[in-house]
Structure 1
Amino acid sequence: MSIPDYQTAMLPLLRLAADGKEYRSRDAIECLAQDFALTDEERSEMLPSGTAPLFDNRVGWARTYLKQAGLLTSPKRGVFQITERGKALLAKGPAQINVSTLEQFDEFRAFRERRRDTAAENNAAVPRQAEQESSATQTPEDQLAFAYGRLRSELEFDLLEQVKSVTPVFFERLVIDLLVGMGYGGSRQDAGRAIGKSGDGGIDGIIKEDKLGLDVIYVQAKRWEGTVGRPEIQKFAGALQGQRASKGVFITTSTYSREAVEFANLINTKIILIDGQQLAAMMIDHNVGVSTIGMYELKKIDTDYFEGE
């Protein structure tokens, strides 16, 4: 048979996990390859970019979509497990699971909305059709932009999940790498001596605003799960006032309440709030914790070259 698409792989993948055990992604790929009776030639077929086997990539996307819909969970890196929601869906005896099936879950709809927003933020004129629609309605550039937005959104999600699992010490080092990568803090060595050493009234560290150190920025880094409320921002603002500081950055892996955002915008002290989604996006933009696996070049005819014909 031909290599199944990622939607076709969804139901077999969820059935594989139906026993409630933890499965490694690599083992699941091997099991599904046997279930689909793929040949060695089909197993070795690569993506056009040459970065990964085509079947492995499609199973990976099936796992991603099931996870975004809350049908699978990842107890640790490279491992997945079925959820109660996943078991409940299987109990209904579905003939297939596809994107339309997953649309019934709020988390999945929110995921797709985030993906579309990411594409739009990158100036991509991406139509808001579902993946099933004919590509005839999209230009090749639209399709590339849509695919990039989808990959970017998923990478941000996975990256944030990874950041939430690191130790507090590693998170401090991550913050250092990001701020230095953005041009703050002078050298990494300077920043490393400052971050995590202050411990003064709600301030986690001090970092130079520029390489000359003409001004400093006070940093608060919180690896939280719950929403950061106004009291925490007030505490940070008070600590800044105690240091006669005018600039601060509050970084969290979580989100901020509306009251916290409003308070930060009202006070005279300049406090920048960076939530988990922004943190992941900045890490990608500045190549912190990510690596490039492939590049595509879009080319057009050089009309200047042919003008002298």
Structure 2
Amino acid sequence: MAYVRRGAQKAIVRALQSVGGTATRDDLKAIIAEDDDSGFSHDDVYGTVISKNGNPYIPFNLDFNFGIRDLAAIGYIEKPVRGAAIVLTEQGRADPLTNFPNKQQLKTMGDYWSRTTAARRAKNAKKAKFQADGTTVVEANDDDNEDPEDSWKAELLVRIKQFSPAKFEQFARLLIHQMGVRIDAKMGKVISGDHGIDGFGYFQSDEFRTSRVAIQAKRYGDGPVGEPEIDKFKGVMDSFNAEYGIFITTSHFTDGAKRKAVQGAKSVTLIDGQGIVQLVEKYQLHISPVQTFELDDYYTEKN
């Protein structure tokens, strides 16, 4: 089912309230995706489509980013800072959200966007004067409105889903190695496909305790990984005497799979598509950081 654009303000405040008032953007999206009462499903939050320009983007990110700015306009969150956590104000913490957003809040949001749109049009008009004659301002597509921090992540996951099964298994082992697991030179590569796991290695904790780790990598499309897959993986873990497992997928996990992962004496760490993206960013795995700057309101001339 195609994503339907709608306001995310209430879902964002609910998510922030549930974790004490402070969270990163990625964490907020994960909370919203898992909250049955948020009004957004997992597919809503992370579903990728192709824009008119041929670029992958996530429609929810547009509503999420607009929602963040709406909440700042009505004083429910502190002014957002690129790369920093989103923080609720006292007003945002205290609201039970029974009548949110109300008419006055909607008006304040509307006034904010009216001012923002007028300023943007003025900026484009000034920009046009410095362009060659005959040029026009191109109408923005959906992906033009998306935060660059979000757009590269959407493209990354699309590309990873296009990996061959062999390359995805290799990528998973590379990712696990970056996390501190030493891949077994023999078993970590040979057992793939024959016994139902895609890697095996060892992790040494800060207390110098070494644990045996089994790795499963599944390059899924849109379907989630369910409880049976986790149950089967746990059985294979026992045959290799692994003390815990790591299950990596480009998709996501059902609630049943999450419950099964932590049941019993041996647990399984679950890493879904969004978790993969966050780890690639954390370890800067085959990506290059690009620094840019955004002008604040000081440089906007007031009439």
Compare 109-118 and 157-166 and name the one that shifted more.
109-118
Note the alpha carbon deviations across 1:13-50, whole angstroms, 9 max, x for none. xxxxxxxxxxxxxxxxxxxxxxxxxxxxxxxxxxxxxx
- Could you say if the C-alpha distance between residues 247 and 69 of structure 1 is closer, same or farther in structure 2, counting changes exceeding 3 Å? closer
- Could you say if the C-alpha distance between residues 263 and 167 of structure 1 is closer, same or farther in structure 2, counting changes exceeding 3 Å? same
Tell me if the contact between 2:61 and 2:150 (Cα under 8 Å) persists in the aligned partners: no
The corresponding residue for 2:169 is 172
The corresponding residue for 2:215 is 219
The corresponding residue for 2:240 is 243
- Could you say if the C-alpha distance between residues 280 and 175 of structure 1 is closer, same or farther in structure 2, counting changes exceeding 3 Å? same
Compare 253-262 and 165-174 and name the one that shifted more.
165-174
Structure 2, unaligned runs of 5 or more: 1-46, 69-79, 93-108, 117-145, 295-303
The corresponding residue for 2:191 is 198
Task: Look up the equivalent residue of 1:72 and give its one-letter code.
Answer: S
The corresponding residue for 1:290 is 287
- Could you say if the C-alpha distance between residues 237 and 162 of structure 1 is closer, same or farther in structure 2, counting changes exceeding 3 Å? same
The corresponding residue for 1:59 is none
Does 2:261 align with 1:260?
no
Tell me if the contact between 2:168 and 2:219 (Cα under 8 Å) persists in the aligned partners: yes
- Could you say if the C-alpha distance between residues 198 and 70 of structure 1 is closer, same or farther in structure 2, counting changes exceeding 3 Å? closer
For these two proteins, the number of residue pairs brought into alignment is 186
Aligned with residue 123 of structure 1, among 85, 94, 108: 85
The corresponding residue for 2:204 is 210
TM-aligned CA deviation for residue 173 of structure 1:
2.3
Tell me if the contact between 1:180 and 1:191 (Cα under 8 Å) persists in the aligned partners: no
Runs of at least 4 residues off by over 6 Å: 114-121, 126-131
- Could you say if the C-alpha distance between residues 248 and 72 of structure 1 is closer, same or farther in structure 2, counting changes exceeding 3 Å? same
The corresponding residue for 2:51 is 72
Q: Supply the RMSD in Å over aligned alpha carbons.
A: 4.2
Distance in 1 between the 2:66 and 2:284 partners? Answer: 20
TM-aligned CA deviation for residue 116 of structure 1:
7.1
TM-aligned CA deviation for residue 272 of structure 1:
0.5
TM-aligned CA deviation for residue 124 of structure 1:
3.5
TM-aligned CA deviation for residue 276 of structure 1:
0.7
Tell me if the contact between 2:261 and 2:269 (Cα under 8 Å) persists in the aligned partners: yes
The corresponding residue for 2:41 is none
Distance in 1 between the 2:65 and 2:189 partners? Answer: 33
Tell me if the contact between 2:199 and 2:216 (Cα under 8 Å) persists in the aligned partners: yes
- Could you say if the C-alpha distance between residues 208 and 217 of structure 1 is closer, same or farther in structure 2, counting changes exceeding 3 Å? same
Task: Give the TM-score normalised by structure 1.
Answer: 0.49
Tell me if the contact between 1:114 and 1:153 (Cα under 8 Å) persists in the aligned partners: no
Tell me if the contact between 2:226 and 2:253 (Cα under 8 Å) persists in the aligned partners: yes
- Could you say if the C-alpha distance between residues 291 and 178 of structure 1 is closer, same or farther in structure 2, counting changes exceeding 3 Å? same
The corresponding residue for 2:103 is none
TM-aligned CA deviation for residue 171 of structure 1:
1.4
Distance in 2 between the 1:265 and 1:115 partners? Answer: 36
Distance in 1 between the 2:289 and 2:185 partners? Answer: 26
The corresponding residue for 2:153 is 156
TM-aligned CA deviation for residue 236 of structure 1:
0.1
Note the alpha carbon deviations across 1:259-303, whole angstroms, 9 max, x for none. 111111222211011111111111111111311122669xxxxxx
Distance in 2 between the 1:123 and 1:274 partners? Answer: 22
Identical pairs, percent = 23
Note the alpha carbon deviations across 1:115-166, whole angstroms, 9 max, x for none. 979989951449997994656xxxxxxxxxxxxx933222221111110011
Distance in 2 between the 1:69 and 1:174 partners? Answer: 21
Distance in 2 between the 1:170 and 1:239 partners? Answer: 22
Tell me if the contact between 1:173 and 1:192 (Cα under 8 Å) persists in the aligned partners: no
TM-aligned CA deviation for residue 168 of structure 1:
1.8
Structure 1, unaligned runs of 5 or more: 1-67, 74-78, 82-106, 136-148, 298-309
TM-aligned CA deviation for residue 109 of structure 1:
3.4
- Could you say if the C-alpha distance between residues 108 and 224 of structure 1 is closer, same or farther in structure 2, counting changes exceeding 3 Å? same
Distance in 2 between the 1:72 and 1:295 partners? Answer: 24
The corresponding residue for 1:232 is 229
Compare 110-119 and 273-282 and name the one that shifted more.
110-119
- Could you say if the C-alpha distance between residues 119 and 222 of structure 1 is closer, same or farther in structure 2, counting changes exceeding 3 Å? farther
